[in-house]
């Protein structure tokens, strides 16, 4: 297991599944509807989610569009 | 039917940043009682541009889901905002996140300076506009009704400047028509009045100043009947635009009869 900070809270992820795609899958999040920031770097290429490895202590933000003015 | 006639009378289409928009009314998507109310109101408003905010996904799913589950991005032009950002750096980060969603490179830039009034931090706003414009963003900058700030935003590369009618969510209508008119006269980029419109007459009066459009959210969402109000706002924006193009009669301090003074009966 590795421990990440995801949207401000600690969250554990299986080491065997430690990619962005793996994290989104474990959270049941559709990658098409979100934007991911990894250690303050925005991941603009969703195709790279599957290969983007995560490490202990990484900080992830997962955002989406909500109602606003 | 009526709409087609009115549109043909509004000879100049709204063009911002090289893109033509079919409606001069832009609407927000916040504060609706339900998503179905929101969709029906937006459709009634006739708006093409709809604003959205960028927020964390609630990993515990206790909050509402993302708006793209309800709003078809093929039907509307999504304009992401940076609402809630208090520094240029924060607003730039939100704008970049929004762009990475892949819909467009537009942003309604807000850099707020004060929690109570939600008035802009104009220095941070100009700085963020310059940075984002250099990165290829089409920046629509929410600002106050100060001419000098508006001019600096244009110089910084904003494709549109968006002065407030009155503070966000206040519904106070246009507090300073002179300031809004002056900004419109002096800027080359389109001026879209953003915030403060509370009811249809407010929208009409704003458009009569000659501005290019209005963005509103609470004025529709917080009405007792948002769908009716959205319809009223659409008609008011069109009416105000046509009245501006028509050119109003001069104001006089004395009465001038409308009926002939001749042909009266002997008394």
d(CA A52, CA B11): 52
For residue A34, the chain B residues in CB contact (below 8 A) are 57, 66
Per-residue model confidence (pLDDT) at position A26: 93
pLDDT digits (tens, 9 = 90+) for B25-40: 999 999 999 999 999 9
pLDDT digits (tens, 9 = 90+) for B89-101: 999 999 999 999 9
User: Chain A contact for B235, CB < 8 A?
Assistant: no
Whether B118 and B75 have beta carbons less than 8 Å apart is answered as: no
Whether B48 and B76 have beta carbons less than 8 Å apart is answered as: yes
- How far does the CA of residue B193 sit from the closest CA of chain A (Å)? 13
- How far does the CA of residue A41 sit from the closest CA of chain B (Å)? 10
Q: What is the mean pLDDT of chain B?
A: 94
Nearest chain A residue to B110, by CA: A69
Structure tokens at B234: 């659409």
User: Chain A contact for B97, CB < 8 A?
Assistant: yes
Per-residue model confidence (pLDDT) at position B64: 61
Per-residue model confidence (pLDDT) at position A41: 95
Mean pLDDT of B200-209: 98
pLDDT digits (tens, 9 = 90+) for B114-173: 999 999 999 999 999 999 999 999 999 999 999 999 999 999 999 999 999 999 999 999
Is the pLDDT at A6 greater than 50? The verdict is yes
User: Chain A contact for B168, CB < 8 A?
Assistant: yes
Per-residue model confidence (pLDDT) at position B63: 62
Is the pLDDT at B66 greater than 90? The verdict is no
Model confidence band, residue B1 (pLDDT cutoffs 50, 70, 90): very low
- How far does the CA of residue A23 sit from the closest CA of chain B (Å)? 11
User: Chain A contact for B100, CB < 8 A?
Assistant: yes
Model confidence band, residue B10 (pLDDT cutoffs 50, 70, 90): confident
For residue A63, the chain B residues in CB contact (below 8 A) are 54-57, 97
Nearest chain B residue to A7, by CA: B56
pLDDT digits (tens, 9 = 90+) for A38-61: 999 999 999 999 998 999 999 999
Per-residue model confidence (pLDDT) at position B12: 82
Helices and strands (H, E) in chain A, number of each type: 1, 5
ipTM: 0.94
Fill in the DSSP letter of residue A17. G
Nearest CA among B156, B204, B157, B152 for reference residue B183: B152
Nearest chain B residue to A60, by CA: B56
Per-residue model confidence (pLDDT) at position B176: 96
Per-residue model confidence (pLDDT) at position B172: 96
For residue A69, the chain B residues in CB contact (below 8 A) are 28-31, 51, 53, 81, 83, 168-169, 195, 215-218
Probe site for chain A from B66, B84, B233 (most A CB atoms < 10 A) = B66
Nearest chain B residue to A63, by CA: B56
| DSSP string across B233-260 | HHHHHHHHHHHHHH-PPPP-SS---SS-
- How far does the CA of residue A33 sit from the closest CA of chain B (Å)? 7
pLDDT digits (tens, 9 = 90+) for B230-260: 999 999 999 999 999 999 999 999 999 999 9
Whether B62 and B56 have beta carbons less than 8 Å apart is answered as: no
Model confidence band, residue B2 (pLDDT cutoffs 50, 70, 90): very low
User: Chain A contact for B31, CB < 8 A?
Assistant: yes
d(CA B72, CA B125): 30
User: Chain A contact for B69, CB < 8 A?
Assistant: yes
Per-residue model confidence (pLDDT) at position B115: 95
Model confidence band, residue B65 (pLDDT cutoffs 50, 70, 90): confident
């Amino acid at each position: 297991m590795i421990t990440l900070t995801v949207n401000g809270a600690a969250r554990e992820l299986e080491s065997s599944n430690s990619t962005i795609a793996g994290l989104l899958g474990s959270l049941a999040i559709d990658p098409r509807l979100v934007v991911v920031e990894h250690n303050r770097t925005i991941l603009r290429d969703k195709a790279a989610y599957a290969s983007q490895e995560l490490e202990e202590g990484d900080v992830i933000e997962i955002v989406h569009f909500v109602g606003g003015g | 039917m009526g709409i087609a006639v009115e549109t043909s009378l509004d000879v100049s289409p709204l063009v911002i940043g090289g893109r033509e928009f079919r409606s001069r009314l832009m609407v927000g998507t916040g504060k609706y009682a339900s998503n179905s109310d929101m969709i029906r109101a937006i459709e009634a408003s006739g708006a093409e541009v709809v604003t959205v905010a960028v927020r964390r996904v609630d990993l515990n799913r206790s909050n509402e889901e993302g708006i793209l589950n309800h709003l078809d991005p093929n039907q509307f032009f999504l304009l992401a905002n940076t609402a809630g950002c208090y520094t240029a750096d924060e607003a730039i980060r939100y704008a970049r996140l929004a762009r990475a969603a892949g819909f467009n490179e537009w942003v309604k830039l807000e850099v707020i300076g004060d929690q109570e009034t939600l008035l802009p931090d104009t220095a941070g706003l100009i700085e963020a506009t310059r940075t984002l414009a250099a990165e290829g963003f089409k920046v629509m900058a929410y600002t106050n009704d100060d001419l000098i700030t508006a001019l600096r935003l244009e110089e910084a590369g904003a494709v549109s400047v968006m002065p407030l009618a009155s503070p966000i969510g206040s519904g106070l209508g246009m507090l300073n028509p002179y300031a809004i008119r002056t900004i419109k006269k002096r800027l080359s980029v389109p001026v879209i009045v953003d915030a403060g419109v509370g009811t249809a007459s407010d929208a009409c009066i704003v458009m009569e100043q000659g501005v290019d459009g209005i963005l509103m959210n609470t004025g529709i969402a917080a009405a007792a009947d948002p769908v009716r109000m959205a319809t009223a706002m659409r008609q008011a924006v069109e009416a105000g635009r046509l009245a501006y193009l028509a050119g109003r009669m001069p104001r006089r301090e004395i009465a001038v009869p409308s009926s002939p003074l001749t042909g009266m009966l002997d008394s």
